[in-house]
Amino acid sequence: MSVSMRQEADTGFVEIDNPPVNAIGHAVREGLLKAVKWAEEAKLARVIVTGKGRAFAAGADAREFDSAPKEPHLPDVLNAIDESPVPWIAAIDGVALGGGAEIAMACRMRIISPKSQIGLPEVTLGVLPGAGGTQRLPRLVGLARALDIITTGKPLTAQKALEAGLVHQVADDPMQAALGTGAEALQRIVPTWTLPAPDADEGAFEAARKAVAKKQANQTAPLKVIELIRDTLAEPFHQALLAERTAFLELRNGAQSKALRHMFFAERAAKAPAWLTAEPVSLKHVAVVGGGTMGAGIAYALLNAGLTVTILETDAQGAERAIANVEKIISASLKRGLINDARAADHRSRFAASSDYSTAADATLAIEAAYESMEVKVDVIGKLEAALPKDAILATNTSYLDINEIAAAASDPARVVGLHFFAPAHIMKLLEIVRGDHSSDTSLATGFALAKLLRKIPVLAGVCDGFIGNRILARYREAADTVLMDGATPWDVDKAMVGFGYAMGPYEAQDLSGLDIAHANRRRQDATRDANRRYIPIADRMVELGRLGKKTGAGWYLYPETGGKAEDAAVAELAVAAAKSAGLTRTAYSQQEIERRLVLAMINEAADILDEGIAQSAADIDLVTVSGYGFPRWRGGLMHYADSLGAGNIVEALEGLALEDAVAWKVSPLLKRCAENGGLLADYVPTR
């Protein structure tokens, strides 16, 4: 079934039925076109169109974007609705997105339920509304608002849609409200396509361009939207539709849309692997050890998911600090309107903090987010094991420490698993589920069940130094420090990576997280570091000088009291002095060369991570790099981007760099195999 039709007296009822979210695939387009003809032949007075289930329609079926478009094309179907002598009413009770919103705009009238949302998120898939949205929306809501809605892709709430003039009515029961709308009232509303287009307004176009440049730099679709609307505003409707179609198809076939669609589907495929059939433990009461920034963030994420949470601390003061930290997040969420007072009260009613572990005696999961020291974590595991039920899962949020060593502190290491959250834990979507040598399937299944409950993106990771994300980050930073030593400045590097698409470069990012964290990790690795591997001491020197980043007012940049950040010649001098004492001759690096080296370093490290089975798939690495480390989403993640470069080209470039440093640039065997057999990283399934 895709579209059903039935008639009662002079009213036709058309229902889109394509679970789970009524994506508008070929069958739905055919069904809608058939319904238009049916209603006209039956000389109906009106048609009420609805979506079955939780959506009105979620938009065109993005899975069809990789194949040749099949008639009837959605713009033609919607023109048939818009131009039909039988007026249609869209009764929206759920989401009406993309093509779903375009169906609604082609209807004579739109009635929406209070909780529904309506919008044109096409740019999030790297395309633009391709079924009349760029022409009908400006006619309904005006130019400036239409530009904002389409370029941002953000859906409108029912109330906002009413205020904008996108819908005619908000009703608890849109169907009843539609039935109450007589034919004569409908006839008074003119077909959308006949509405006059708004006047051109250069100010609106300029404002839209500025907003896109600020928030969506490097992305082609939003700019194309502005250009298309500007170029077609004065054109006759149907002629403008032709230009819209051309622009849509051009974007749909482009690299950015392919990358964004890859991310969209990869996020939805991030679930427990098929072999993991074990049942998770029931999740009601969760203990969080440590009420610092991470612990409080994790606790809030758990509260937000409706769980009962006890933060366990070392003493009463710690417990009070934990409460204050969680309260800070609750107030921030209240201030931002993310929760209301009732919700905040409900969160508080399910939250406690204590230094007495027996207060979590019925917790089925504990997540330790204690100080990043093996001694502390081993002690915590012991206390948890003593206090919680025997089958409670004991999870560690450690970023770098060896999960197996932590698990060894438990009498039953099968209960121990890594749940690596990313700060701020109640906002960042990524959750690395780290599988220790003894982690039971139940503990892994519990990790995936928790991710689903918290609406996070779970990625299974094997045990190695830094798991997936931090291991790639460490290599990224090493490559950055190397070009810093050999001739660049931190700001050269940061500019290069912002140009590549990161929101900020590696040095500014370090200033935010603090240079002491990576410093502690380097010291931890001193004993096992490869003596033949080049070591860059500049970051150590920074820490010795107390330049720990923003928190100390100075790191790679200066952070004046007045705010902002400033380049600091003293830091550039440090790099020059370090090179001099190492007897190196520094060279100048172009932005392009800096970007090339840093991205190749990450690709090479990630290929080894995949080859070693630390990651289960290239798509998982894409999810980690985009959702946890700021890799530009519109490039599809690190591995998708690598495949777009081609393994052969990557191997050739790495071999060139290996002539400079055979250790740091040792070419990943997986990349070599892909280069030899023409395979894609995306298709590689680890054998380990």
Q: Which is nearer to ligand T1G, 133 or 466 (CB)?
A: 133
Q: Name the minimum Å distance from CB 105 to ligand T1G.
A: 11
- Rounded (10°) angle between helices 202-215 and 220-232: 170
In this complex, which beta carbon is closest to ligand T1G, that of residue 20 or of residue 196?
Answer: 20
Q: Which pair of structure tokens corresponds to residue 618?
A: 């290239």
Q: Which is nearer to ligand T1G, 215 or 328 (CB)?
A: 215
Binding residue (CB under 6 A) for ligand T1G from 91, 131, 303, 454: 131
Q: Which of 232, 251, 230 is nearest to 241 (CA)?
A: 232
Q: How far is the CB of 57 from ligand T1G (least distance, A)?
A: 8
The only residue of 1, 8, 37, 63 in contact with ligand T1G, by rule CB under 6 A:
63
Question: In terms of Cα–Cα distance, which of 667, 675, 670 is closest to 649?
Answer: 675
Chosen residue from 3, 16, 21, 283 binding ligand T1G by CB under 6 A: 21
Of residues 60, 149, 417, 493, which one binds ligand T1G by CB under 6 A?
Answer: 60
Does the protein bind ligand T1G through residue 61 (CB under 6 A)? Answer: yes
Question: Residue 579, Cβ neighbours under 10 Å: how many?
Answer: 18
Query: How far apart are the C-alpha atoms of 535 and 478, rounded to whole Å?
Result: 8
User: Of 427 and 512, which has the nearer Cβ to ligand T1G?
Assistant: 427
In the set 32, 33, 48, 62, which binds ligand T1G (CB under 6 A)?
62
CB of 61 to ligand T1G, least distance (A): 5
CB of 46 to ligand T1G, least distance (A): 25
The span from the CA of 70 to the CA of 61, in Å, is 12
Report residue 431: phi and psi, to 5°. -135, 115
**At its nearest, how many Å lie between ligand T1G and the CB of residue 248?**
6
Out of 40, 64, 71, 102, which one is annotated catalytic? 102
Q: Which residues of 278-301 are buried (b: 16+ CB within 10 A; e: fewer)?
A: eebbebebbbbbbbbebbbbbbbb
The per-residue b/e assignment along 66-91, b for 16 or more CB within 10 angstroms, e otherwise, is eeebeeebbbebbbbbbebebbbbbb
Question: CA-to-CA distance for 504 and 217, rounded, in angstroms?
Answer: 12
Which of 133, 487 has the CB closer to ligand T1G?
133
133 binds ligand T1G (CB under 6 A): yes
Could you give the CA distance from residue 72 to residue 31 in angstroms, rounded to a whole number?
10
* Residues 260-289 within binding reach of ligand T1G (CB under 6 A): 265, 268
296 is written with which tokens?
A: 């409080």
Q: Is 129 in the site for ligand T1G (CB under 6 A)?
A: yes
Stretch that binds ligand T1G, among 1-9, 92-100, 414-422, 499-507 (CB under 6 A): 92-100
CB of 130 to ligand T1G, least distance (A): 4
Number of residues that bind ligand T1G (CB under 6 A): 27
- Return the range that interacts with ligand T1G (CB under 6 A); candidates 124-132, 160-168, 312-320, 435-443: 124-132
Three-state DSSP at 21 gives coil
> Which of 82, 102, 244, 611 is the binder for ligand T1G (CB under 6 A)?
102
Nearest distance in Å: CB 602, ligand T1G = 28
Binding-site member from 58, 147, 296, 618 for ligand T1G (CB under 6 A): 58
CB of 129 to ligand T1G, least distance (A): 4
Distance in Å, CB of 24 to ligand T1G, minimum: 7
Asked if 93 is part of the footprint of ligand T1G (rule: CB under 6 A), the reply reads no
Distance CA(431)–CA(397), nearest Å, equals 10
Residue 97 binding ligand T1G, by CB under 6 A: yes
User: What is the enclosing helix (H) or strand (E) of 221?
Assistant: helix 220-232
Location of structure tokens 């989403």: 633
- Residues 218-257, one symbol each (x = binds ligand T1G by CB under 6 A, - = not), give ----------------------------------------
- Taking CB atoms within 8 Å and a gap of at least 24, the contacts of 580-585 are 582/485, 584/485, 584/486
309 three-class SS: strand
DSSP state of 170: E
Residue appearing with tokens 């033609």: 76
Alpha-carbon distances of 358 from 23, 386, 395, rounded to whole Å: 50, 9, 18
Does 508 bind ligand T1G (CB under 6 A)? Our answer is no
First-to-last CA distance in the chain? 43
In the residue annotation, 122 being an active-site residue is answered as yes
**Residue 323 near ligand T1G by CB under 6 A:** no
**Looking only at residues 68 through 87 of this chain, which bind ligand T1G when binding is defined by CB under 6 A?**
74
Q: Which stretch binds ligand T1G (CB under 6 A): 95-103, 514-522, 665-673, 679-687?
A: 95-103
Instruction: Produce one character per residue of 232-242: b if its CB has 16 or more CB atoms within 10 Å, e if not.
Output: bbeeebeebbe
Alpha-carbon gap, residue 263 to 635, rounded angstroms? 9
State the minimum distance, in angstroms, from the CB of residue 520 to ligand T1G.
38
Kindly tell me which of 62 and 650 has the beta carbon lying closer to ligand T1G: 62
**Cβ atoms 296, 329 nearer than 8 A:** yes
Of these residues, 15, 122, 385, 432, which one is catalytic?
122
Residues that bind ligand T1G (CB under 6 A): 20-21, 23, 55, 58-63, 74, 95, 97-99, 102, 121-122, 124-125, 127, 129-131, 133, 265, 268
Which residues carry out catalysis? 102, 122
